[in-house]
Amino acid sequence: MSIQLQSQWVLRWVVPACASLLVCGLLLLALVWAAGRTDEVAAVRQRDLVTLTVSKLKAGLAHDQESATVWDDAVKNTASGNLEWVEANLGSWMHSYFGHDAALVLRTDLSPLYQFLADAEYAPAPDDLKRAYLPLAIRLQARLAAGDTEGTNDRVLSIGESDLRYVGFRPAIVSVKPIVSDSGDIEQVPGKERIHVAVRFLDGDLPPIIGSEYAFDALKFSAKQPRGRDLAFVPLRAKDGQVFGYFRWRPFQPGKQVLNNTAPALLLAFVALFSGTSLAGGAFWRRSERLATSRAELKHQASHDVLTGLANRAHFGEQLDLRLRRAQADEQHCLLFVDLDRFKAVNDTFGHPVGDELIGMAAARMRALLPEALIARIGGDEFTILLHAGDARNAEELSDNLVRRLKVPFEVGASHITIGASVGAAHAAGASDPAELMRQADIALYHAKAAGRNTYAIFGGHMDEVLRKRRTLEDDLRSALENGSQLEVFYQPVFAADEGNLCSLEALARWKHPLIGYISPEEFIPLAEEIGLINDIGTLVLEDACKTLAEFPEISIAINASALELAAPGYPLRVLTALAKWQISPCRLEIEMTESATTGDGGELERTISMLRKAGVQFAIDDFGTGYSSFSRVQKIEVDRIKIDKSFIDEMHRNDSKALVVAMIDMARAKGLKITAEGVETTEQQSVLKSLGWHSLQGFLLSRPMPRPAVVALMLKIRQESSDAIAVLPSS
């Protein structure tokens, strides 16, 4: 179970259950305690009541007797042996009126004169009855003889004895009273009085009667101590203090009753409390969940790129810093710099929504290949990847895979778009300096690009060596420009696509290094830009081009100018001055914006271009479709021509690349721009380009760039041929 689910479960069920259980448990505990206390008090009361009832029974039995024993008629009739009278007044009457179970009248010698038993079917052995009353009768006779009157008063008219006795096996209250004169007119010898015995059994109808009178449930006599948790009992003691037996009953427990009655209510309260707290817990969980989610979203937004969902530059920097500084000594790191090739062309040709979708797809491919790595988008089409320790060992293979994957065409809408990528990788082990690792990866990327793009390079010590060489080269370039001898201008002819006539020349700078030989402008132009010498080179080429233009008025020449040069405040004046100096019409000069330097989209460049265009100078966007040349520039800056980069011409045999080229032509046509293809190397390319309606073609197939003397010779030859043709024409 996930932590999230667990905490939801806890908040929704466990906490409410615990809280409800606690509250209801405490309530129940209090109730149980109170009920227990109530039942205890009730039990003591009930026991006292039973004890009191028994003693009242004893007294009551004696009292009943006196209604007939303290009576002159009774003395007389017992003395005369009138059993009929005795039966009527001292026997059955006692039963019918008071409910006594047995009655006897004893003679002076304590032998029974008369005996009555209420239950006709019950016949105790004579000795059983005798054993029950004899000790009491003997004691009474002794007390009578002694003249003892203790216990007599207004209500108790004669002394008596009573006790709890067994008649055979039956427990009973037995009471004896003397039969005495009520008027005092009959003389009697103390101790010689007849004696009346009354018996009330405790195991017959008496307990139910007491039970119903005092609300004791199932009151019964028991000879042995009752067992059972739901029974209350009280011992009955005879006069000698011995336990005679027990009265037991089902106790009335008001507390327990209250508890039983409140149990459903308590259960209801538990359910209500549980549902309430569970709902509250659920609401609380959802709220905190929402809070946590939005907090996480905010955090994610702050540290991630919206388009790709990858980390952003700041987040990547933080993570890189953190991981490199905390790394174990033997931990491997590898940092990759990835740069998408030709992405700008896609953006400008198909529009930003397609570009965005493509970036998203490229990011997804990288993520799929490196699911564990930290990947960031740090610029429009630039990515950085920090491989985790395991992948770092396979950096070379992974970089190669990355290049291959990104080379596979992307399907965006109906189009198949091919881009590509250059990858630079740098390794480190243990705690290392992030800035140094970034620098190394950047150098490696530079090498990958220099090696022709669509490839990868791993940083090595030799690259630093390359850097060192570059510094030397910078110094050499400085001194070359001071001397002015090593730099030359070559010219490459450009031909009309349809008829194949030479229509213009492109001036290309060359550096003839005294030790190295010819160095490509692709190498020394960026160097010159970096060290601020580009204007000097530009001036040199411009000067040479003007000289050539002056020599051959029938052609136009294109010069290359980096954005950096164009943005310099004195540039338009410099160009116009050179043109004026050589008396050349500005429309014969075309300036190709090579865009090899990063352009700030400052207004200076636009002002320069519009000023020169007003004067008649033509403008072209060079290397169209790569790097910084872009459709957006075409939209913003008015130009006259676009030159499609060689890489597109190379790839034109592929359907997806051809689609891009066709889109470029359509765009150029729509804008009324002239269009030139660069780097035409094969006749196939030439015929395809022709069929597509191209204006002009340039490439090794038609002519290589050549030094000034060679191009002068060529021009003179062409001039000669055309004048020959003109000379032939009239006669034909």
Q: Which does 422 bind (CB under 5 to 8 A by kind): Ca ion, ligand C2E, none?
A: none
SS3 (DSSP) at 291? helix
Pick the stretch among 126-134, 141-149, 335-343, 516-524 that binds ligand C2E (CB under 6 A).
Answer: 516-524
Compute the distance between CA of residue 254 and CA of residue 261 in angstroms, rounded to an integer: 10
CB of 446 to ligand C2E, least distance (A): 17
CB of 624 to Ca ion, least distance (A): 8
Instruction: Give the x-and-dash track for 463-492 against ligand C2E (CB under 6 A).
Output: -----------------------------x
Strands ordered across the beta sheet of 232-237: 217-222, 243-250, 232-237
**Looking only at residues 615 through 634 of this chain, which bind Ca ion when binding is defined by CB under 5 A?**
622-623
User: In 578-718, where do the E strands start and end?
Assistant: 589-593, 618-624, 641-644, 674-677, 696-697, 706-707
Half-sphere exposure of 585 (CA within 13 A, CB side): 7
CB of 529 to ligand C2E, least distance (A): 8
CB of 521 to Ca ion, least distance (A): 10
Residue 706's DSSP bridge partners are 491
Residue number, 360 or 625, with CB nearest to Ca ion: 625
Q: Does 525 bind ligand C2E (CB under 6 A)?
A: yes
Q: Does 521 bind ligand C2E (CB under 6 A)?
A: yes
Q: Which two tokens stand for residue 459?
A: 């940083």
Q: Which does 508 bind (CB under 5 to 8 A by kind): Ca ion, ligand C2E, none?
A: ligand C2E
Q: Which does 562 bind (CB under 5 to 8 A by kind): ligand C2E, Ca ion, none?
A: ligand C2E
Buried b (16+ CB within 10 A) or exposed e, 339-355: bbbbbbbbbbbbeeebb
Q: Tell me which of 281, 623, 626, 657 binds ligand C2E, using CB under 6 A.
A: 623
Residues in the interface with ligand C2E (CB under 6 A) total 26
CB of 624 to ligand C2E, least distance (A): 10
Q: Which two tokens stand for residue 55?
A: 């003693």
Q: Which does 503 bind (CB under 5 to 8 A by kind): ligand C2E, Ca ion, none?
A: none
What Rg value do the Cα atoms of the chain yield, rounded? 64
Angle, CA of 45, 46 and 51, to the nearest 5° = 100
Q: Which two tokens stand for residue 63?
A: 């009292």
Q: Tell me which of 20, 562, 626, 647 binds ligand C2E, using CB under 6 A.
A: 562
Residue-by-residue DSSP string for 24-50: HHHHHHHHHHHHHHHHHHHHHHHHHHH
CB of 382 to ligand C2E, least distance (A): 22
Residue number, 174 or 561, with CB nearest to ligand C2E: 561
AA identity, residue 128: D
Q: Are 542 and 562 in contact (CB under 8 A)?
A: no
Q: Are 362 and 423 in contact (CB under 8 A)?
A: no
Q: Does 560 bind ligand C2E (CB under 6 A)?
A: yes
Residue number, 591 or 634, with CB nearest to ligand C2E: 591
Using the Cα atoms of residue 692, residue 696, residue 699 and residue 702 in order, give the sign of their dihedral: positive
Using the Cα atoms of residue 621, residue 623, residue 625 and residue 627 in order, give the sign of their dihedral: negative
Residue whose token pair is 């390794």? 427
Q: Tell me which of 270, 592, 641, 689 binds Ca ion, using CB under 5 A.
A: 592
Q: Mention every residue, 6+ apart, whose C-beta is less than 8 A from residue 587.
A: 556, 616, 617, 618
Residue number, 473 or 507, with CB nearest to Ca ion: 507
Residue number, 233 or 571, with CB nearest to Ca ion: 571
Residues in the interface with Ca ion (CB under 5 A) total 5
CB of 663 to ligand C2E, least distance (A): 21
Residue whose token pair is 């080429």? 541
Residue whose token pair is 């009491």? 136
Q: Which does 381 bind (CB under 5 to 8 A by kind): ligand C2E, Ca ion, none?
A: none
SS3 (DSSP) at 118? coil
Residue number, 149 or 520, with CB nearest to ligand C2E: 520
Q: Mention every residue, 6+ apart, whose C-beta is less than 8 A from residue 222.
A: 233, 245, 246, 247, 248
Residue number, 8 or 596, with CB nearest to ligand C2E: 596
Pick the stretch among 18-26, 193-201, 478-486, 589-597 that binds ligand C2E (CB under 6 A).
Answer: 589-597
Residue number, 101 or 592, with CB nearest to Ca ion: 592
Return the H-helix or E-strand segment holding 169.
Answer: none
Q: Which does 171 bind (CB under 5 to 8 A by kind): ligand C2E, Ca ion, none?
A: none
Pick the stretch among 156-164, 296-304, 440-448, 553-561 that binds Ca ion (CB under 5 A).
Answer: 553-561
CB of 394 to ligand C2E, least distance (A): 34
Length of the chain as a residue count: 732
Compute the distance between CA of residue 332 and CA of residue 314 in angstroms, rounded to an integer: 23
SS3 (DSSP) at 506? strand
CB of 599 to ligand C2E, least distance (A): 13
Q: Does 522 bind ligand C2E (CB under 6 A)?
A: yes
**Looking only at residues 495 through 514 of this chain, which bind ligand C2E when binding is defined by CB under 6 A?**
508-509
Pick the stretch among 90-98, 220-228, 533-541, 721-729 that binds ligand C2E (CB under 6 A).
Answer: 533-541
- CA dihedral (525, 528, 530, 535) in degrees, to 10, reads -110
Compute the distance between CA of residue 63 and CA of residue 86 in angstroms, rounded to an integer: 18
Pick the stretch among 86-94, 203-211, 301-309, 590-598 that binds Ca ion (CB under 5 A).
Answer: 590-598
Q: Which does 679 bind (CB under 5 to 8 A by kind): ligand C2E, Ca ion, none?
A: ligand C2E
Q: Does 541 bind ligand C2E (CB under 6 A)?
A: yes
Compute the distance between CA of residue 515 and CA of residue 477 in angstroms, rounded to an integer: 12
Residue number, 53 or 562, with CB nearest to ligand C2E: 562
Q: Which two tokens stand for residue 193?
A: 């009085």
Q: Mention every residue, 6+ apart, whose C-beta is less than 8 A from residue 126.
A: none
AA identity, residue 357: E
Q: Does 698 bind ligand C2E (CB under 6 A)?
A: yes
Q: Does 705 bind ligand C2E (CB under 6 A)?
A: yes
**Looking only at residues 657 through 686 of this chain, which bind ligand C2E when binding is defined by CB under 6 A?**
678-681
Compute the distance between CA of residue 714 and CA of residue 353 in angstroms, rounded to an integer: 49
Instruction: Give the x-and-dash track for 593-622 against ligand C2E (CB under 6 A).
Output: -x-x-------------------------x
CB of 506 to Ca ion, least distance (A): 6
CB of 379 to ligand C2E, least distance (A): 22
The bridge status of strand 332-341 relative to strand 382-387 is antiparallel
Residue number, 219 or 345, with CB nearest to Ca ion: 345
Q: Does 678 bind Ca ion (CB under 5 A)?
A: yes
Compute the distance between CA of residue 214 and CA of residue 219 in angstroms, rounded to an integer: 10
Q: Which two tokens stand for residue 663?
A: 């889109």
Cβ-based burial of 92 (10 A; exposed 0-12, middle 13-18, buried ≥19): middle
Pick the stretch among 152-160, 293-301, 464-472, 554-562 that binds Ca ion (CB under 5 A).
Answer: 554-562
Residue number, 402 or 605, with CB nearest to Ca ion: 605
Q: Does 560 bind Ca ion (CB under 5 A)?
A: yes
Q: Which residues bind ligand C2E (CB under 6 A)?
A: 492, 508-509, 520-522, 525, 537-538, 541, 560-562, 592, 594, 596, 622-623, 678-681, 698-700, 705
The residues binding Ca ion (CB under 5 A) are 560, 592, 622-623, 678
